[in-house]
Amino acid sequence: MSFVDADERSTDSGIEVRRVYHSEDLADFDESRDLGDPGEFPFTRGVYANMYRGRLWTMRQYAGFGTAEATNERFRFLLAAGQTGLSCAFDLPTQMGYDSDHARADGEVGRVGVAISSLEDMRLLLAQLPLGEVTTSMTINATASTLLLLYQLVGEEQGVAGDQLRGTIQNDILKEYIARGTYIYPPRPSMRLIVDTFAYCEKEMPNWNTISISGYHIREAGSTAVQEVAFTLADGIAYVEAALAAGLTIDDFAPRLSFFFNAHNNLFEEVAKYRAARRLWATIMRERFAAKKPSSWMLRFHTQTAGSTLTAQQPENNLIRVTLQALAATLGGTQSLHTNSFDEALGLPTEHAVRLALRTQQVIGYETGIADTVDPLAGSYFIETMTTQIEQRARTYLDAIDEMGGAVAAIEAGYPQREIENAAYEYARSIDEGERIVVGLNHFTDEGDVSPEVFPFDLERQRLQGARVRELKQRRDNAAVRAALDDVVTAARGSANLLYPMKVALSRLATLGEVADALRGEFQEYRPN
């Protein structure tokens, strides 16, 4: 935002910010809207009546690097430091359906997340963790069903039944085509895998959140706040429609849907964004899909602070950015939160940095009074006007996507991709030309900035992980593995739920890459135009 012209201000979404707001400004947008109470339709003020007065949001720090053993060590460190939920990042080979010994995995094993190729890796990742007590979030998409099944198998080995396991898989493939690129199969067979996961969890893991519909990566790719809401909810509509087309009942699966949003720097726009998203989704679920349960109308979401706003220059400034972003998320009513570490623009977070990130949440939760009242900014002329403006602009996008035939058709036509690219270009241009101030980057720079300690990457651990996978493939019962993988192929050719034969194959020590290859043979790989 430029501070040269005091008469012209706007948010990152291009919404005009007036000098001052009055009660009549609300009437300009929605005179009859009743805010209602927290915990009641349309949930503008929060999905639960007491919100943080009942209990604080889940503090779910994201971790994953190198081997399963190294990540397990970080998990136990975070739990000891007061973290209340686990959140796991996976390396690119795992995300793309390649084992650690695959030629295409060379140089990437364990680099941006943990490498998981088999049930044995998952056992090491979850060793000594109380799976019956903690909730676990896994940021994984194309191979989400495989990682979920591996998690369930380890839980069963620990004596924790599927109906006792709680957590979330991201499992949001549509945003991969829009913004991120870690897809394997074309959109339509990928949607089948997602719906099969919905149906499987309804029967086998009823307390598991089967999808985390992600606006986070859409925002990281350069979208505005309005686009983040619109394209995320459009993807959500597509998942609901696919599940209904497969014969599922709306009120059976909708309560397990969850969302994942970004927390950016514009404090008030971000708070309004979360409130608008809740209101929009509640209306869509009740009016468009005729869901009857209030739990089906609720937009429950996890938030992560914005990695794209972190700077390698003067990295300690990121502590302030993350604090304000976390404040926006909590003022906006998030259900769980990850705060980025200040050194993440340089590499994986060190223990010192990740402890500070967790302490940021704890200070906000326990020392600021933010948990004492629900929706503390409600009734602000500015906040309520901004909430309605974001809702209206997001609806315009949703109407356009509906006219194209829905999110899948819009993605195939490249519509959301183009909109995000244009927004990202404008954002970058405004920084380059000095219209938008980024402290320490294009203004208030210092000579001789000193970088903090950087987390070391262990190449030897990468080599040992690949060797471990090769050794597993030699000593297991390969005939049993091949038979189980044949059953996966047979299910892929028909209409049976894929997760049941996949679970059998994984229990026999088939690898993640082998299951992905079995599906590649039937579904093919996606190649964008």
The two beta strands, 166-169 and 135-139, are: parallel
The alpha carbon of residue 323 and the mean position of all alpha carbons in its chain are separated, in whole angstroms, by 19
The sheet with strand 62-63 has its strands ordered as: 62-63, 86-89, 135-139, 166-169, 208-209
Establish if 229 belongs to a structural domain: yes
Establish if 317 belongs to a structural domain: yes
- What pLDDT does residue 205 have? 97
Lowest-confidence segment of 122-126, 140-144, 344-348 by average pLDDT: 344-348
Lowest-confidence segment of 12-16, 39-43, 360-364, 475-479 by average pLDDT: 12-16
- What pLDDT does residue 297 have? 98
Establish if 516 belongs to a structural domain: no
- What pLDDT does residue 3 have? 46
Reported confidence tier of residue 398, pLDDT bands at 50, 70, 90: very high
- What are the two backbone dihedrals, phi and then psi, of residue 497, each rounded to the nearest 5 degrees? -65, 125
- What pLDDT does residue 351 have? 87
- What pLDDT does residue 26 have? 77
- What pLDDT does residue 455 have? 63
Q: What is the pLDDT of residues 1-35, one digit of tens each?
A: 444 455 789 998 999 999 998 888 776 655 446 78
Of residues 43, 22, 28, 42, the one with CA closest to residue 379: 22
What is the count of structural domains for the chain? 1
- State whether residue 167 is helix, strand or coil: strand
Average the pLDDT over 202-213 and give the result. 94
Establish if 68 belongs to a structural domain: yes
Q: What is the pLDDT of residues 92-101, one digit of tens each?
A: 999 999 999 9
Paired tokens of 133:
């007590």
* Cα–Cα distance measured from residue 483 to residue 470, given in angstroms and rounded to the nearest whole number: 20
Residue 212's domain is classified under what CATH number? 3.20.20.240
Taking 80 as the threshold, does the pLDDT of residue 453 lie above it? no
* Cα–Cα distance measured from residue 393 to residue 397, given in angstroms and rounded to the nearest whole number: 7
- What pLDDT does residue 112 have? 85
β-sheet bridge partners, residue 261? 303
* Boundaries of domain holding 413: 23-31+55-432
- What pLDDT does residue 221 have? 96
Establish if 522 belongs to a structural domain: no
- What pLDDT does residue 84 have? 79
Taking 60 as the threshold, does the pLDDT of residue 490 lie above it? yes
* Cα–Cα distance measured from residue 169 to residue 147, given in angstroms and rounded to the nearest whole number: 9
- What pLDDT does residue 457 have? 63
Taking 90 as the threshold, does the pLDDT of residue 425 lie above it? yes
Q: What percent of the chain has pLDDT over 90?
A: 83
Determine the residue type at 25: D
Establish if 367 belongs to a structural domain: yes
**Residue-by-residue DSSP string for 445-492:** --TT------PPP-HHHHHHHHHHHHHHHHHS-HHHHHHHHHHHHHHH
Q: What is the mean pLDDT of the chain?
A: 93
pTM of the model: 0.90
Establish if 336 belongs to a structural domain: yes
Establish if 325 belongs to a structural domain: yes
